[in-house]
Structure 1
Amino acid sequence: MTDVRTIVEQYIAVWNETDAVKRRARIADVFTENAGYTDPLGAVTGHDGIDQFVAGAQQQFGGLTFSLPAGPDAHHDLARFQWYLGTPGAEPVAIGFDVVELEDGKIAKVHGFLDKLPG
């Protein structure tokens, strides 16, 4: 299996990439063609759906960045990790926990959970 930490770091980089062309290239590198993404705010499939979902989150939370407070925990073709959304060095405005299913070194499915939301 490809280094899980690297895959998860690339996944976080997708969420932080604001240039649409670069973000789309990152999505193609990180996700399988028919990857699925599901969290309490929505469910999408494929590179187009993921790109639109990420772009929407960036519009809503402009100026904030995603980060990993710790490395992922992984076994077989699964990984889980917590993420923060906020300004570096400040208390996160959102905290989530994702579980990803891996396939051939890419993410095939994301199961997202939101632990803390702004407001």
Structure 2
Amino acid sequence: MPNIDAHDLATRFVAMWNEPDPELRRKSIESLWADDAAHILHPPQEIREAAAGLGFASSTLEARGHDAIESRVTKSYEDFVAPGTITFRARTDAAVRLDNVVKLIWEVVTVEGYEVQGGGLDLLILGDDGRIERDYMFPGL
């Protein structure tokens, strides 16, 4: 596995979610993620309860492969970043690598004043080439 710096990876990972240019966003996805990678989200409580109410045994949400991950990242960008009031920020001081796992913490901050509005934790499982094979995302910190 290449020598991956956790702080650099956290910065590049969060920058992908803030990227306004669709072509650059796609290039970022392709460089960060393995071809068959999975982004697995532990959704907020209300979504988990709604899924359970519909009879779903699992309430995790998954995007698999570059196209699905690109759709997920683009939708997040359009809903949260594009309006111009918030952005995502990596807590590079909290990024840690242990073998092929990188733990990173990110924050949702206001564009004016950088006041923290929320955040989350991601556990990234890296492949032999250093790209993300699995991303377990836990929003709500």
The TM-score normalised by the length of structure 1 is 0.88
* Distance of 1:7 and 1:81 partners within structure 2: 9
1:90 aligned onto 2:109: no
Give aligned-pair identity as a percent.
26
- Structure having the higher Rg: 2
Pick one of 26, 30, 43 that aligns with 2:62: 43
Unpaired stretches in structure 1, ≥5 consecutive residues? none
2:88 alignment partner, SS class:
strand
Q: Matched residue of 2:132: which SS?
A: strand
**Aligned residues: CA RMSD:** 1.5
Matching of residues 80-119 of structure 1 within 5 Å: 80-88=103-111, 89-103=113-127, 104-116=129-141
Structure 1 ranges of 4+ moved more than 4 A: none
Structure with greater helix share of residues: 2
Q: Which residue of 2 aligns with 1:76?
A: 99
Q: Secondary structure of the residue that 1:90 maps to in structure 2?
A: coil
| TM-score of the aligned structures, taking structure 2 as reference length | 0.75
Aligned to 1:53: 72
Deviation (angstroms), 1:93: 2.1
Q: What is the CA-CA distance between 1:13 and the residue it aligns to?
A: 1.2
Quick check: 1:12–1:67 contact (8 Å CA) kept in 2?
A: yes
Instruction: Please give the alpha-carbon distance, in whole angstroms, between the structure 1 residues aligned to 2:62 and 2:70.
Output: 12
Distance in 2 between residues matched to 1:79 and 1:111, nearest whole Å: 11
SS in 2 for 1:93: strand
Q: In structure 2, what is the Cα distance between the partners aligned to 1:105 and 1:4?
A: 11
Q: Which ranges of structure 2 fall in alignment gaps of 5 or more residues?
A: 44-60
Contact 2:42 2:136 survives alignment (8 Å): no
* Bigger proportion of residues as strand: 1
Higher relative contact order (CA 8 A, sep 6+): 2
Matched, 1:65 2:87: yes
- Deviation per residue, 1:68-108 (Å, 9 max, x gap): 22241111100111100122533222210110001111111
Does the CA contact (< 8 Å) of 1:7 and 1:106 recur in 2?
no
Aligned length: 116
